[in-house]
């Protein structure tokens, strides 16, 4: 929220909330569908893969921001 201009903070919060609700609303049914075809272990494996991908994405963004700050 601190990275968004004050007049756009409401829009940013609304967008964040909408995507969070969408993610939470889809995760349960999709996980149930996957568990029905495979197993609960598959759910944990997929969740771990998503966490690893998110970590990689966040780390890349961090490195890009750090490089941009050094150039400025």
Question: Looking at residue 7, what is its pLDDT?
Answer: 86
Determine contact, residues 42/35, Cβ cutoff 8 Å: yes
* Domain range annotation of the chain: 1-37, 39-72
Q: Which two tokens stand for residue 3?
A: 């990275």
pLDDT for 67 equals 93
pLDDT of residue 8: 86
**How much is the pTM?**
0.69
**What's the confidence (pLDDT) of residue 61?**
96
One digit per residue, the tens of pLDDT, for the chain of length 72 reads: 677 888 888 999 999 999 999 999 999 999 999 999 999 999 999 999 999 999 999 999 999 999 999 997
Residue 9 CB neighbours (<10 A): 13
Give yes or no for a contact between 43 and 31, defined as CB atoms under 8 angstroms apart. Answer: yes
């Amino acid at each position: 929220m601190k990275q968004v201009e004050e007049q756009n903070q409401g829009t940013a919060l609304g967008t964040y909330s909408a995507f969070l609700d969408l993610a939470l609303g889809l995760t349960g049914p999709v996980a149930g569908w996957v568990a029905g075809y495979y197993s609960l272990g598959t759910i944990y494996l997929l969740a771990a893969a998503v966490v690893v991908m998110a970590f990689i994405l966040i780390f890349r963004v961090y490195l890009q921001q750090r490089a941009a700050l050094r150039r400025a």
